[in-house]
Amino acid sequence: MIALRTVPDHIVRPPYARPGGETGERPGLIKSDALIGRMRRAGRVAREVLDEVLAAVAIGVTTDELDRVCHEVTIAKGGYPSPLDYRGFPKSLCTSINEVVCHGIPSARRLVDGDIINCDVTVYLDGVHGDCSETVFVGTPSLVHKVLVERTYEALRRGIEIVRPGVRFNEIGRAIERYVAPFGYGIVREFGGHGIGELFHMPPNIVHAYERRERLKMQAGMTFTIEPMLNVCDPRCAILADGWTAVTVDGKASAQFEHTVLVTPDGHEVLTLCADPRPFFQR
């Protein structure tokens, strides 16, 4: 059993990390102006933490060291690392390397030249969650990995681009699928984006390929993540014995990018951007 990192008593924990767990209450999909203000702060802090984690990625570094950075920086900023003890997840960060699609558990595994790694940070602050992730290169990537990462980021950008009131949520998946289809990549369907706010995960569910049956329309005040996961070939995933780590069934690479997005009256706002809006691999 993996020992959980400690969290100081003054840090406010989400309900699932408190004695008694979650209450079962489900908040509405439309956020108040006050709640949106808190989500802006949580999203900004999540982005700041992610940038520090990504800056620590290097050949020879263990993913557990990246977890330590995430944990300590989050607490220093007054937040709680949302993954920690979420449904039993044992770490403060998800680290997904190469064929790992998502939910990789940090360990003593050292990064090697040519790896790609997705670091997924979520911060609980002021009673709400901010969630973002990026895939970056370790050393010099292969051409296959480099192009996969670049195109996955572009898929995220295109999914975000269409967000505005009145648009059906399935248009996110349609935009991503239209862009990705010519490259032959597999779009992961087992995992997707999700509503976020007072809860880490809540409706609506965001499918990153076109889902004809989805009829829900976006409304101003909704907040959710868009986080396409693209596999080099086969879109299917398998879950390892740890119950968390999702890997590609063919052993080929996967990449992911994620932002938390707010629907505004005239479009959208990305809540997990920082002063430099470019993805880390382009800086």
Q: Residue 1: its pLDDT value, please?
A: 65
> How far is the C-alpha of 72 from the C-alpha of 220, rounded, in Å?
34
Tens of pLDDT, residue by residue over 145-196, are: 999 999 999 999 999 999 999 999 999 999 999 999 999 999 999 999 999 9
What's the distance, CA 177 to chain centroid? 19
The pLDDT value recorded for residue 20 is: 74
How is the chain split into domains, by residue range? 29-271
More confident of the two residues 1 and 40: 40
Q: What is the mean pLDDT of the chain?
A: 96
Tokens of 51: 């940038």
Q: Is residue 263 scored above 90 in pLDDT?
A: yes
pLDDT of res. 275? 84
Q: Convert the pLDDT of each residue in 189-223 to its tens digit.
A: 999 999 999 999 999 999 999 999 999 999 999 99
Residue 23's pLDDT band (cuts 50, 70, 90): low
* CATH, domain 29-271, list 3.90.230.10, 3.40.30.10, 3.40.50.720, 3.30.300.10: 3.90.230.10
Q: What is the pLDDT of residues 220-249, one digit of tens each?
A: 999 999 999 999 999 999 999 999 999 999
Q: What is the pLDDT of residue 173?
A: 98
Element (DSSP H or E) covering residue 53: helix 33-55
Model confidence pLDDT, tens digit, residues 251-260:
999 999 999 9
Burial of 9 (0-12, 13-18, 19+ CB in 10 A): exposed
CA dist 223 and 32 (Å) reads 11
Distance CA 28, CA 132 (A): 22
- Distances in Å between the Cα of 250 and the Cα atoms of 138, 143, 209, 253 are 22, 19, 20, 9
Provide the pLDDT for residue 249.
98
Biggest CA-to-CA distance, the chain:
51
Place of tokens 């868009």: 226
Is the confidence at residue 46, as pLDDT, over 70?
yes
d(CA 277, CA 275): 6
Q: Rounded to whole angstroms, how far apart are CA atoms 120 and 211?
A: 25
- Other CB atoms within 10 Å distance of the CB of residue 34: 8
What pLDDT sits at residue 196? Answer: 98
Going from the C-alpha of 92 to that of each of 5, 63, 99, 155, 250, the distances in angstroms are 8, 11, 21, 27, 28
Q: What was the pLDDT predicted at 103? A: 98
Residue 134 CA neighbour count, 13 Å, CB half: 26
Chain centre distance of CA 199: 14
pLDDT category of residue 24 using cuts at 50, 70 and 90 = low
